Amino acid sequence: MSQPLGFVDQKYPEHVCLLKKALYGLKQAPRAWLERFSLYLLHLGFKCSRAYSSLFTLHSSEGTILLLLYVDDIIVTGSNSKQMDVIVRKLGTEFAMKDLGQLSFFLGVEVNYFPGVIHLNQHKYANDLLKKVDMTNIKVVHTPLAQKHGLQETVGTAVDPSLYRSIVGSLQYLTLTRPDIIHAVNLASQFMQNPNSVHLQAVKRILRYVKGTISYGLCITSQYSFRLYGFSDADWAGCATTRRSTTGYSIYLGANCVSWSSRKQNTVARSSAEAEYRALAATTTELTWITYILQDIGIYVKSAPTLFCDNMSALYMTTNPVLHARTKHIELDYHFVREKVAQGQLVTQFVRSKDQLVDVHTKALPKDRFRFFRDKLRVVHAPPLSLRGSVEDHDRDDHDKVHDRIS
């Protein structure tokens, strides 16, 4: 900071103003706001989540209240509506706030309510993105990524990097409710530094797929138990340039997909078992974090989370007490996963490759296979008028069949 031009104090030219409160727009303003808001919530009896600093919980004999803070946007929910009203009124007396009623739109995510079902989608956000790039009247495709895309080896003409980064960044935010495009977006994100025309065509294919499924979103239902489990997979040496593998996972709470990822691994794996084991470690970390979140909310999963993997060598390493020389270079991941299994905090189980739901996060798939896995991710059309009928029953039947095979 420095004194403004024309108002420099000749006696103290190096002095600046001492602010009594953080000004909006300065770097310290968000931290000051969080501290101010958090102290008041703690005064009301809330506790800050150990796993997620923006989540506050209030447990009492009257019920449970959850408050999620994102900068100055707040979601309040709970088991007692009267208690919620009291909390909202108290917050309104302390801060300049406006109660918008039942949650319907939050940070670009639309929330639609149906009997026993909540549908999350980003229909408006996706429409705005298509208008921004002038692709509202385009021909749609059935998959976001061609099976033989060959993006790593391709050489094309240079394109505007800022445009490419803007589109890919917007698509990354779209994956909040669209786990079906996360692998394609992750692949496109790897060429941010020097994109070419072939990479831009791949991004446009994702947009063409989004156009055809613009009303699709995540379906959350309460008709299943609180069983926590995940699927882990890796595409060994899938990147032709760096020969690094891709880690993919999906984590479910009951039938609801609550977390997903597709990411290139940090180091080169020397075997498919090593690549799969690194994916196991990443999924175990996420499962552990979700367990802590559930505990802060007040939900305690009765049985240990189950982690499904289609590589027997990686599964054997989770229970083998002997550290072989060939696994010493992955010793940290080895000890982390195996310790969870030994303590009974994690159960690893084999799943057949054709039932591996995370294939959609690690590789390009044909149309029918892609649609099958998209259904397993609970990404469905909105408005889901048939969720209570044929579509929901069909999805649930298929989901149960998969679990019958892997149980």
Closest CA to 168 of 120, 138, 136, 206: 206
What's the token pair of residue 142?
A: 């059935």
The pLDDT score that the predictor gives to residue 175 is: 92
Last-in-domain residue among 77, 101, 125: 101
Determine whether 304 is exposed, middle or buried from the number of CB atoms within 10 Å of its CB (0-12, 13-18, 19+): middle
Determine whether 89 is exposed, middle or buried from the number of CB atoms within 10 Å of its CB (0-12, 13-18, 19+): exposed
> Based on the domain organization, do 108 and 70 belong to the same domain?
no
Count of structural domains within the chain = 2
> Based on the domain organization, do 51 and 79 belong to the same domain?
yes
**Within 13 Å and on the Cβ side, how many CA atoms surround 285?**
15
* Percent of the chain surpassing pLDDT 70: 88
> Based on the domain organization, do 141 and 69 belong to the same domain?
no
Banded pLDDT at 343 (limits 50, 70, 90): confident
**Which are the contacts of 136, defined by CB distance < 8 A and separation ≥ 6?**
127, 130, 211
- Whether 7 is in a domain gets the answer no
> Based on the domain organization, do 77 and 226 belong to the same domain?
no
CA distance linking residue 104 with residue 153, whole number of Å: 44
In terms of phi and psi (left: phi > 0; alpha: psi -120 to 50; beta: otherwise), the region of 377 is alpha
Last-in-domain residue among 79, 101, 123: 101
Residues 36-61, mean pLDDT to the nearest whole number: 90
The pLDDT score that the predictor gives to residue 386 is: 45
CA distance linking residue 180 with residue 206, whole number of Å: 11
> Based on the domain organization, do 136 and 87 belong to the same domain?
no
> Based on the domain organization, do 68 and 118 belong to the same domain?
no
The alpha carbon of 101 is separated from its chain's Cα centroid by a whole number of angstroms, namely 26
> Based on the domain organization, do 135 and 44 belong to the same domain?
no
> Based on the domain organization, do 207 and 280 belong to the same domain?
yes
pTM value?
A: 0.80
Q: Which of 10-19, 32-41, 291-300, 330-339 has the lowest mean pLDDT?
A: 330-339
Q: What is the pLDDT of residues 176-204, one digit of tens each?
A: 999 999 999 998 898 888 888 888 899 99
Last-in-domain residue among 101, 136, 152: 101
CA distance linking residue 21 with residue 40, whole number of Å: 17
- Which residue do the tokens 């104090």 mark? 9
The pLDDT score that the predictor gives to residue 334 is: 65
What's the token pair of residue 400?
A: 């149960």
Residues 370-383, mean pLDDT to the nearest whole number: 84
